[in-house]
Amino acid sequence: MQALHRVRAEFVHQRTAIVSQFRCFLLEYGVAIHTGIGMFRRDATRILADDSNDLTPTMRQLLTDLWSDFLRIDERVTTLSGHIEASAKHDDVVQRLTTVPRIGPLGEALCAQPLEMASSSAAAATWLHEPASFRVSIRPAASHRSWARRTLYNQFPAGKEELFRAVVERVWSAFPVLDIVAEAETLSDPDIGLRRIASAVASFWEPPLAISFLRMVIAEGPRFPDLTESFFKHGKTPEMNAVRAYIEKQGELGVLSIKDGERAARQFLGLIDEPLLWIRVLGREEKFTRAERRAVIDEAVDIFLGHYRVKPKARKA
């Protein structure tokens, strides 16, 4: 049962990555797409069949290939879900869990496992960095939750590398920027869009766990290159690409004057991260009030728009 869940989780991750990439490519052409797998299935076929949009032949073919990859992986997810549900019908523990409201067959099978991987990664994430330590070890990570080391090794056979990857994927899964930049209202008004992006970024990095997460990446990255690669692959790169595509689209619409979208995106995020995030990562345990965070967000948007917004041409006398 655990093997089925692990394989299914990997395919779900691949499917999500394809959807995110598909959405980012469309944003570069000013085409918004709804969130959610169900809406993606509907919107993707509609967009690919629409010859009136601004997609180039090359991009349309690339998106078509991504759509084919999505369908193939989606079919695997459906098949594995069926296997899990079928197995659950013959498991006594799972059947007893059916008495719990709102737990479906997949949830029942997952709960019946000795220790579910997401729970393991979440527990490990809450421990990741004690104030006096910047290195992670399986032994104290397990003892933090009174688990045997074998329990964690069973869930993460590859050791710390696999545990790191699970933590990275879990943390970045809550990042909302990809959804925000696709909203119609944010595309129509950069003042609204940038404030929503800035608010999401500030809220995402607010919990102490987020600081511990970054400290782990910094401390362990040189020893475990896969950790740094996962950090960028599963979160930082999609985040930056989404913000860059949003800003570049505002430039195409004539609202902003953008010469280098990558640099502009880094500058905007830096206006938020520098005062609210990095000072805490470096060890100053500062807490910001809601009003203080709002002031940072407002100033970041005002500074950015003050520099990049296209100035109206003065009328001749």
Residue 85 neighbours by CB under 8 Å, 6+ apart: 105, 106, 109
Share of the chain above pLDDT 90, in %: 21
Q: Residue 287 is encoded by which pair of tokens?
A: 């807490």
Nearest in space to 141 (alpha carbons), one of 123, 155, 159, 114: 123
Q: Residue 20 is encoded by which pair of tokens?
A: 């995110």
Lowest mean pLDDT among 74-78, 114-118, 277-281: 114-118
* Alpha carbons 77 and 71: distance in angstroms, whole number: 10
Residue 277 neighbours by CB under 8 Å, 6+ apart: 205, 211, 214
Q: Report the range out of 30-39, 138-147, 236-245 with the highest average pLDDT.
A: 236-245
| Residue carrying the six token digits 């944003």 | 27
* Alpha carbons 242 and 236: distance in angstroms, whole number: 10
Residue count of the chain: 317
Q: Kindly state the helix (H) or strand (E) to which residue 87 belongs, with its residue range.
A: helix 57-88
Average pLDDT over residues 188-194: 89
* Alpha carbons 210 and 201: distance in angstroms, whole number: 11
Instruction: Supply the pLDDT for residue 93.
Output: 45
Whether 186 and 242 have beta carbons less than 8 Å apart is answered as no
Confidence band for 297, pLDDT divided at 50, 70 and 90: very high
142-172 tens-digit pLDDT: 454 444 444 544 555 555 566 666 667 766 6
| Residue carrying the six token digits 């601004």 | 54
Nearest in space to 126 (alpha carbons), one of 62, 216, 54: 216
* Alpha carbons 45 and 48: distance in angstroms, whole number: 5
* Alpha carbons 29 and 55: distance in angstroms, whole number: 7
Lowest mean pLDDT among 87-91, 265-269, 274-278, 292-296: 87-91
The DSSP annotation for 264-316 comes to HHHHHHHHHHIIIIIHHHTT------HHHHHHHHHHHHHHHHHHHBPPPPPPP
Compute the Cα dihedral for 177, 182, 187, 189 and give only its sign: negative
What is the DSSP secondary structure assignment for residue 99, as one 8-state letter?
T
Whether 242 and 262 have beta carbons less than 8 Å apart is answered as no
Phi/psi-derived region of residue 313, left when phi > 0, alpha when psi is between -120 and 50, beta in every other case: beta
Indicate the CATH number of 167-308 among 1.10.10.10, 1.50.10.10, 1.10.357.10, 1.10.260.40.
1.10.357.10
Domain ranges of the chain: 1-85, 167-308
* Three-state secondary-structure class, residue 128: coil
Nearest in space to 141 (alpha carbons), one of 158, 159, 157, 165: 159
127 or 12: which leads in pLDDT: 12
Average pLDDT over the chain, rounded to an integer: 74
